[in-house]
Amino acid sequence: MTITKTRRFAAMLLLCAAIPAFAKGADAQRRPIAVQMYTLRNIASLEDQLKIVHDAGVSAVETVGTQNVSAQELKRLLDKYGIKAISTHAQLADLRGDPDRVVAFNKAIGNSTIVVPYLQEEERPTDAAGWIALGKELGQISKKVQAQGMTLAYHNHDFEFTDFNGKTGLEVMFDAAGPGLESELDLAWVARAGHDPAAFLGKLKGRVFAVHAKDNAPEGESLDEQGFAAVGKGVLDWNAILPAAAQAGVKWYIIEHDAPLDPAAVIKTGAAYLVEHLPADAKR
Protein backbone atom coordinates (compact mmCIF):
# COMPACT_ATOMS: atom_id res chain seq x y z
CA MET A 1 0.00 0.00 0.00
CA THR A 2 1.40 3.41 -0.98
CA ILE A 3 1.84 6.21 1.56
CA THR A 4 -1.07 8.13 -0.03
CA LYS A 5 -3.40 5.12 0.17
CA THR A 6 -2.29 4.49 3.77
CA ARG A 7 -3.13 8.04 4.73
CA ARG A 8 -6.53 7.81 3.03
CA PHE A 9 -7.27 4.54 4.81
CA ALA A 10 -6.30 6.05 8.18
CA ALA A 11 -8.52 9.05 7.52
CA MET A 12 -11.45 6.77 6.69
CA LEU A 13 -10.94 4.87 9.96
CA LEU A 14 -10.96 8.13 11.93
CA LEU A 15 -14.13 9.23 10.15
CA CYS A 16 -15.88 5.93 10.87
CA ALA A 17 -14.91 6.17 14.52
CA ALA A 18 -16.33 9.68 14.76
CA ILE A 19 -19.66 8.87 13.10
CA PRO A 20 -21.35 7.21 16.14
CA ALA A 21 -20.56 10.18 18.43
CA PHE A 22 -21.67 12.65 15.77
CA ALA A 23 -24.88 10.70 15.14
CA LYS A 24 -25.66 10.56 18.86
CA GLY A 25 -25.18 14.34 19.16
CA ALA A 26 -27.39 14.96 16.14
CA ASP A 27 -30.01 12.60 17.56
CA ALA A 28 -30.01 14.53 20.86
CA GLN A 29 -30.73 17.71 18.92
CA ARG A 30 -33.72 16.09 17.20
CA ARG A 31 -35.16 14.73 20.44
CA PRO A 32 -37.22 16.84 22.88
CA ILE A 33 -34.33 17.06 25.36
CA ALA A 34 -33.41 20.24 27.23
CA VAL A 35 -31.23 21.29 30.17
CA GLN A 36 -32.38 23.25 33.21
CA MET A 37 -29.76 25.98 33.63
CA TYR A 38 -29.93 25.73 37.43
CA THR A 39 -27.82 22.59 37.02
CA LEU A 40 -24.98 24.77 35.72
CA ARG A 41 -25.25 27.70 38.13
CA ASN A 42 -21.78 27.12 39.65
CA ILE A 43 -20.02 27.27 36.28
CA ALA A 44 -18.09 30.53 35.98
CA SER A 45 -19.88 32.29 33.14
CA LEU A 46 -23.16 32.04 31.24
CA GLU A 47 -21.24 31.47 28.02
CA ASP A 48 -19.34 28.57 29.58
CA GLN A 49 -22.63 27.11 30.78
CA LEU A 50 -24.18 27.24 27.32
CA LYS A 51 -21.07 25.76 25.77
CA ILE A 52 -21.44 22.73 28.07
CA VAL A 53 -25.02 22.30 26.86
CA HIS A 54 -23.90 22.60 23.25
CA ASP A 55 -21.00 20.17 23.71
CA ALA A 56 -23.41 17.59 25.17
CA GLY A 57 -25.34 17.69 21.90
CA VAL A 58 -28.36 19.40 23.47
CA SER A 59 -29.89 22.42 21.76
CA ALA A 60 -32.61 23.54 24.19
CA VAL A 61 -32.59 24.98 27.70
CA GLU A 62 -34.89 26.07 30.46
CA THR A 63 -33.60 29.36 31.82
CA VAL A 64 -33.68 30.71 35.37
CA GLY A 65 -35.20 34.18 35.44
CA THR A 66 -33.06 36.54 33.40
CA GLN A 67 -29.83 34.59 33.96
CA ASN A 68 -28.56 37.94 35.31
CA VAL A 69 -28.15 39.43 31.84
CA SER A 70 -30.24 41.51 29.47
CA ALA A 71 -32.61 39.80 27.08
CA GLN A 72 -30.42 40.96 24.20
CA GLU A 73 -27.29 39.39 25.68
CA LEU A 74 -29.04 36.15 26.54
CA LYS A 75 -30.48 35.88 23.03
CA ARG A 76 -27.06 36.58 21.52
CA LEU A 77 -25.45 33.76 23.50
CA LEU A 78 -28.29 31.35 22.80
CA ASP A 79 -27.99 32.05 19.09
CA LYS A 80 -24.19 31.72 19.19
CA TYR A 81 -24.48 28.14 20.45
CA GLY A 82 -27.56 27.21 18.44
CA ILE A 83 -29.71 26.81 21.56
CA LYS A 84 -33.41 27.56 21.99
CA ALA A 85 -35.04 28.64 25.26
CA ILE A 86 -38.12 26.43 25.62
CA SER A 87 -39.20 27.61 29.08
CA THR A 88 -38.12 29.70 32.04
CA HIS A 89 -38.45 29.60 35.81
CA ALA A 90 -40.05 32.80 37.09
CA GLN A 91 -40.79 33.39 40.75
CA LEU A 92 -44.42 33.70 41.82
CA ALA A 93 -43.64 37.09 43.39
CA ASP A 94 -42.51 38.40 39.98
CA LEU A 95 -45.64 37.09 38.29
CA ARG A 96 -47.78 38.69 40.96
CA GLY A 97 -45.91 41.98 40.81
CA ASP A 98 -45.13 42.59 37.14
CA PRO A 99 -46.16 39.75 34.81
CA ASP A 100 -45.86 41.99 31.76
CA ARG A 101 -42.14 42.45 32.41
CA VAL A 102 -41.65 38.69 32.70
CA VAL A 103 -43.55 38.13 29.46
CA ALA A 104 -41.66 40.85 27.60
CA PHE A 105 -38.25 39.47 28.59
CA ASN A 106 -39.17 35.95 27.50
CA LYS A 107 -40.70 37.04 24.23
CA ALA A 108 -37.42 38.82 23.49
CA ILE A 109 -35.45 35.58 23.86
CA GLY A 110 -37.99 33.51 21.92
CA ASN A 111 -39.49 31.62 24.86
CA SER A 112 -43.22 31.04 25.28
CA THR A 113 -43.56 29.01 28.50
CA ILE A 114 -43.26 30.43 32.01
CA VAL A 115 -42.93 28.05 34.96
CA VAL A 116 -43.55 28.80 38.63
CA PRO A 117 -40.57 26.89 40.06
CA TYR A 118 -40.88 26.97 43.83
CA LEU A 119 -43.02 28.36 46.61
CA GLN A 120 -41.31 30.14 49.45
CA GLU A 121 -42.36 28.78 52.82
CA GLU A 122 -44.67 31.71 53.47
CA GLU A 123 -46.34 31.16 50.08
CA ARG A 124 -47.20 27.49 50.70
CA PRO A 125 -50.82 26.60 51.51
CA THR A 126 -51.41 24.69 54.72
CA ASP A 127 -54.87 23.28 53.96
CA ALA A 128 -57.06 22.30 51.02
CA ALA A 129 -58.71 25.72 50.93
CA GLY A 130 -55.30 27.30 50.53
CA TRP A 131 -54.41 25.04 47.62
CA ILE A 132 -57.74 25.86 45.98
CA ALA A 133 -57.08 29.59 46.40
CA LEU A 134 -53.57 29.26 44.95
CA GLY A 135 -54.93 27.23 42.03
CA LYS A 136 -57.50 29.89 41.23
CA GLU A 137 -54.82 32.59 41.39
CA LEU A 138 -52.53 30.65 39.05
CA GLY A 139 -55.49 30.12 36.74
CA GLN A 140 -55.98 33.88 36.53
CA ILE A 141 -52.26 34.50 35.92
CA SER A 142 -52.40 31.81 33.24
CA LYS A 143 -55.21 33.66 31.46
CA LYS A 144 -53.20 36.91 31.59
CA VAL A 145 -50.08 35.40 30.02
CA GLN A 146 -52.11 33.36 27.52
CA ALA A 147 -53.58 36.62 26.25
CA GLN A 148 -50.00 37.53 25.32
CA GLY A 149 -49.25 34.21 23.64
CA MET A 150 -47.59 32.53 26.63
CA THR A 151 -48.24 29.35 28.62
CA LEU A 152 -48.02 29.07 32.41
CA ALA A 153 -46.85 25.88 34.15
CA TYR A 154 -46.08 24.82 37.71
CA HIS A 155 -43.05 22.85 38.91
CA ASN A 156 -43.39 20.71 42.02
CA HIS A 157 -41.13 19.65 44.89
CA ASP A 158 -42.36 17.36 47.67
CA PHE A 159 -44.36 19.69 49.93
CA GLU A 160 -47.29 19.73 47.47
CA PHE A 161 -48.08 16.08 48.19
CA THR A 162 -49.88 16.44 51.52
CA ASP A 163 -53.05 14.34 51.34
CA PHE A 164 -56.48 15.97 51.52
CA ASN A 165 -59.25 13.37 51.45
CA GLY A 166 -57.48 11.20 48.90
CA LYS A 167 -56.02 13.99 46.74
CA THR A 168 -52.66 15.66 47.02
CA GLY A 169 -52.36 19.41 47.37
CA LEU A 170 -50.89 19.44 43.86
CA GLU A 171 -53.99 17.80 42.40
CA VAL A 172 -56.30 20.09 44.36
CA MET A 173 -54.39 23.09 43.00
CA PHE A 174 -54.56 21.91 39.38
CA ASP A 175 -58.27 21.14 39.67
CA ALA A 176 -58.93 24.67 40.91
CA ALA A 177 -56.66 26.32 38.32
CA GLY A 178 -58.49 25.00 35.29
CA PRO A 179 -56.99 23.58 32.08
CA GLY A 180 -54.87 26.63 31.26
CA LEU A 181 -52.25 25.77 33.90
CA GLU A 182 -49.83 23.05 32.80
CA SER A 183 -47.49 20.87 34.85
CA GLU A 184 -43.74 20.54 34.84
CA LEU A 185 -43.52 17.33 36.85
CA ASP A 186 -40.26 16.83 38.74
CA LEU A 187 -39.99 13.06 38.78
CA ALA A 188 -37.36 12.75 41.49
CA TRP A 189 -39.37 14.93 43.89
CA VAL A 190 -42.53 12.94 43.14
CA ALA A 191 -40.68 9.80 44.21
CA ARG A 192 -39.26 11.50 47.30
CA ALA A 193 -42.81 12.41 48.30
CA GLY A 194 -43.65 8.70 48.29
CA HIS A 195 -45.51 8.52 44.99
CA ASP A 196 -44.90 6.52 41.82
CA PRO A 197 -43.81 8.97 39.08
CA ALA A 198 -45.30 6.82 36.30
CA ALA A 199 -48.67 6.65 38.04
CA PHE A 200 -48.69 10.35 38.80
CA LEU A 201 -48.02 11.18 35.15
CA GLY A 202 -51.28 9.39 34.42
CA LYS A 203 -53.13 11.60 36.90
CA LEU A 204 -52.02 14.73 35.03
CA LYS A 205 -52.39 13.27 31.53
CA GLY A 206 -52.87 15.92 28.88
CA ARG A 207 -51.46 18.81 30.87
CA VAL A 208 -47.82 17.82 31.48
CA PHE A 209 -45.79 20.29 29.45
CA ALA A 210 -42.50 18.77 30.59
CA VAL A 211 -40.83 16.55 33.12
CA HIS A 212 -37.67 17.30 35.04
CA ALA A 213 -35.61 14.26 34.18
CA LYS A 214 -33.41 13.52 37.15
CA ASP A 215 -32.82 10.54 39.39
CA ASN A 216 -32.52 9.69 43.07
CA ALA A 217 -29.42 7.84 44.23
CA PRO A 218 -29.82 4.73 46.37
CA GLU A 219 -30.51 5.59 50.00
CA GLY A 220 -27.37 6.72 51.80
CA GLU A 221 -25.42 7.39 48.60
CA SER A 222 -24.39 10.67 46.92
CA LEU A 223 -25.04 12.63 50.09
CA ASP A 224 -22.64 15.32 48.84
CA GLU A 225 -25.04 15.75 45.89
CA GLN A 226 -28.17 15.91 48.06
CA GLY A 227 -28.90 12.28 47.20
CA PHE A 228 -29.59 13.00 43.52
CA ALA A 229 -28.12 11.10 40.57
CA ALA A 230 -27.76 11.49 36.83
CA VAL A 231 -30.67 10.17 34.77
CA GLY A 232 -30.50 6.38 34.56
CA LYS A 233 -27.91 6.11 37.33
CA GLY A 234 -30.32 6.02 40.26
CA VAL A 235 -33.33 4.11 41.50
CA LEU A 236 -36.19 5.50 39.41
CA ASP A 237 -37.88 3.01 37.08
CA TRP A 238 -37.35 4.69 33.73
CA ASN A 239 -38.69 1.64 31.87
CA ALA A 240 -42.08 2.50 33.37
CA ILE A 241 -41.68 6.29 33.49
CA LEU A 242 -40.79 7.00 29.87
CA PRO A 243 -43.78 5.16 28.32
CA ALA A 244 -46.05 6.81 30.91
CA ALA A 245 -44.60 10.21 30.00
CA ALA A 246 -45.29 9.59 26.32
CA GLN A 247 -48.88 8.56 27.11
CA ALA A 248 -49.33 11.67 29.27
CA GLY A 249 -48.34 13.88 26.33
CA VAL A 250 -45.03 15.16 27.70
CA LYS A 251 -43.46 17.58 25.24
CA TRP A 252 -40.00 18.07 26.81
CA TYR A 253 -37.58 16.06 28.94
CA ILE A 254 -35.53 18.58 30.89
CA ILE A 255 -32.31 17.30 32.45
CA GLU A 256 -31.71 18.67 35.93
CA HIS A 257 -29.59 17.95 38.99
CA ASP A 258 -29.92 20.11 42.11
CA ALA A 259 -26.34 19.76 43.36
CA PRO A 260 -24.03 18.11 40.82
CA LEU A 261 -20.32 17.79 41.55
CA ASP A 262 -19.69 17.52 37.79
CA PRO A 263 -22.50 19.32 35.90
CA ALA A 264 -21.08 18.60 32.45
CA ALA A 265 -20.93 14.85 33.14
CA VAL A 266 -24.48 14.83 34.52
CA ILE A 267 -25.78 16.53 31.39
CA LYS A 268 -23.87 14.27 28.99
CA THR A 269 -24.96 11.16 30.88
CA GLY A 270 -28.59 12.27 30.99
CA ALA A 271 -28.69 13.24 27.32
CA ALA A 272 -27.12 9.95 26.23
CA TYR A 273 -29.56 7.96 28.36
CA LEU A 274 -32.59 9.79 27.01
CA VAL A 275 -31.44 9.48 23.40
CA GLU A 276 -31.11 5.74 23.89
CA HIS A 277 -34.32 5.16 25.85
CA LEU A 278 -36.91 7.67 24.65
CA PRO A 279 -39.56 6.16 22.37
CA ALA A 280 -38.55 6.30 18.72
CA ASP A 281 -41.42 8.68 17.91
CA ALA A 282 -40.38 11.21 20.59
CA LYS A 283 -39.29 13.97 18.25
CA ARG A 284 -39.46 17.72 18.49
- In the prediction, which pLDDT does 13 show? 57
Please give the model's pTM, rounded to 2 decimal places.
0.90
Low-confidence spans in the chain with pLDDT less than 50: 21-23
CA-closest candidate to residue 188, choices 147, 139, 224, 227: 227
For 84-122, write each residue's pLDDT tens digit.
999 999 999 999 999 999 999 999 999 999 999 999 999
Alpha-carbon distance of 200 to 172, in angstroms, equals: 14
Nearest alpha carbon to residue 176 among 233, 130, 215, 118: 130
**Per DSSP, what are the bridge partners of residue 85?**
61
Domain coordinates of the chain in residue numbers? 45-277
**Under CATH, to which class is 45-277 assigned?**
alpha beta
User: In the prediction, which pLDDT does 281 show?
Assistant: 78
- Residue 147: the pLDDT is 97
Q: What is the pLDDT of residue 280?
A: 79
